[in-house]
Amino acid sequence: MQRGLDALAAGETGAAVGEFVAALDADPHNAFAYYNLGYIAQSHGERGSAEEYYRAALDERPSLEAALFNLALLREQAGGTQEAIELYRQVISANVDNAEAHLNLGLLLIRAGRTDEGEVEIQTSIRLDPSLVDRLEDGTVMGASPSATPP
C-alpha cells in the first residue's frame, strides 16, 4: 500500500495501480486498495470503473468515508440524486464534522427543490468550516477525496 501511495504522490499512476493490484492479490479484502484504484479511475474520468472500485471498497468497509463521499459525487454526476443524498448522509453519519459533505448535501438538496433542508446543511458546513463560504458563490461541490490509507 505504501509503495502505491508513494507512486501516486509522485505522479506515477501506472506504478500506483500495479502496487494497489498487488495489495489486492495479497489481501482481496483490502478496502483501501479498492478505494485508491477507484480514486485513480475517477481522476482519469473512468466513472464506471471508479464506481465499481468504490462499491468494492464499501463491501469490505461500509463506513469508509472517502469511498462514500466520492461515490456520492459519481452518483450525483450520473443523475442519481436520491442515492447521492443517501450517500452524503452516510458520510455525515460516519463523521458529523465533515463540512464538505454537509456543503455538497446542502447544494444537492437545494437543486432537488428541498431548499429548507439544503439551507440547514449549508449553514452547518459554514459553521464547521467558514472558508467554504467561497464555494457558495459559484455553487461548486467539493471534489473527490484524495487517496486513503488505513487508520
Residues 6 or more apart whose CB falls under 8 angstroms from that of 95 comprise 65, 101
Look at residues 12, 145, 132 and name the one whose alpha carbon lies nearest to residue 88. 145
Cell of 77: 454526476
In the prediction, which pLDDT does 151 show? 46
In the prediction, which pLDDT does 142 show? 56
For residue 31, the one-letter residue type is A
Domains observed in the chain: 1-62 (1.25.40.10), 64-144 (1.25.40.10)
* Rounded Cα gap, residues 79 and 20, in angstroms: 30
In the prediction, which pLDDT does 34 show? 98
In the prediction, which pLDDT does 114 show? 95
Residues 12-34: b if buried by 16+ CB within 10 A, e if exposed: eeeebbebbeebbeeeeebbbbb
- Classify residue 49 by burial, with Cβ atoms within 10 Å: 0-12, 13-18, 19+: middle
In the prediction, which pLDDT does 145 show? 58
For residue 141, the one-letter residue type is V
Q: Which residues of the chain have pLDDT under 70?
A: 137-151
pTM score > 0.75 for this model? yes
In the prediction, which pLDDT does 108 show? 94
* Cβ neighbours around 129 below 10 Å, total: 16
